[in-house]
Structure 1
């Protein structure tokens, strides 16, 4: 049996990926805030693939940085980098403005700017807690990404920042015309796993 471990984005749960088909030969694990993942689970599987989206790319990188003994098949990022705050991710002024001004209305605007087609309802205090925790613990992470999927319509993590970052690494860069939320574009995890085999720079 093979495994896909998905590190989800800020404020998001399984509702964002409920329509994405899981291949028959795979088990799927969704990891959301507080990103507490027991790596002993990985011992049960033959092939392990990690996928991170948005802030999840940073937390996935942090996890791998502390788990260097893990053997894996692919590590894929979607619209995120291991340096999620700053010139290689979300500009600092945008991040701190979001933290300072977060409320229900602004979270709705964030969802709209992300390209979400469904409305996600979350506790604003929990969203603030997640952003504060990221700010307090933030350290740029080493890159483990092998395939970087970059949305050229991303309004949250500017695609030019992502491309600039990954061009300095050994990651294969795949640019596609999607918004920050990629799950209107993809129908299955298999599509994501295979995209780097036929596309890229």
Structure 2
């Protein structure tokens, strides 16, 4: 895992984004706001530490897709710096028949991973065909296997949970079960719903 700044202008607030698997920060570029943005991805290991964020008045967390469980595993045993947390189309049980991606579907993704299957995956993520992207098959497969091996993340509450009705990665009914009793908002959108938003603040 690594943290890198997407925007750093000594703002009053920092948003730490735990992104999804095999999708870069480009999905967030259009979001506007004064906040500084720190992006985390690459979940084969969760050894990275946050940079010093003590100068910020507020620190917020946005976790998307596999970033939700990765964040919760990463947070365990570390001080929690976040005043508010939002989860988007992800689960603390990332591989689960009833609350995440069904194990058979996940296993098929691992076993058939190729540049061609990755393009199909991106089409499901965005709800439309995407331009061809390069893929390090073995590195991405290792990341999936690490997600599977870590299993369920510790339970925790989020201030806001988003579930997309058109999610073709995490079944929406599974996410509804996973987040029962939390502050859930529903979106008519695909797995990557960020084009429905203009400002970072709208996600919280």
TM (norm. structure 1) is 0.86
For the pair 1:157 / 2:170, whether they are aligned, the reply is yes
Aligned partner of residue 174 in structure 1, secondary structure: strand
Find 1:33's aligned residue among 42, 61, 70: 42
Relative to total residues, which structure has the larger helix share, 1 or 2? 1
Cα deviation, residue 71, structure 1? 3.9
Report the Cα distance in structure 2 between the residues aligned to 1:88 and 1:143, rounded to whole angstroms: 15
Q: Which segment drifts farther, 112-121 or 3-12?
A: 112-121
State the 1:110 CA deviation. 0.5
Helix, strand or coil for the counterpart of 1:45? coil
Question: Which residue of the other structure, out of 84, 88, 101, is the alignment partner of 1:78?
Answer: 88
Q: Structure 1 residues 37, 43: closer, same or farther in 2, change over 3 A?
A: farther
- Gaps of at least 5 residues in structure 2 are 1-11
**Of the candidates 110, 114, 121, which is equivalent to residue 103 of structure 1?**
114
Contact 1:65/1:142 (8 A) holds in 2: no
* Aligned partner of residue 53 in structure 2, secondary structure: helix
Tell me what 2:152 maps to. Answer: 139
Match of 1:189 in 2: 200
State the Cα distance separating 1:10 from its structure 2 match. Answer: 0.3
1:128 to 141, 156, 167: 141
Secondary structure of 2:158's aligned partner:
coil
Q: Tell me by how many angstroms 1:73 deviates.
A: 1.9
Kept after mapping to 1: 8 A contact 2:60/2:83: yes
TM-score by length of 2: 0.85
Structure 1 gap ranges (5+): 194-201
Quote the Cα distance in structure 2 between the aligned partners of 1:107 and 1:89.
20
User: Could you say what the CA RMSD is over the residues aligned between the two structures, in angstroms?
Assistant: 1.8
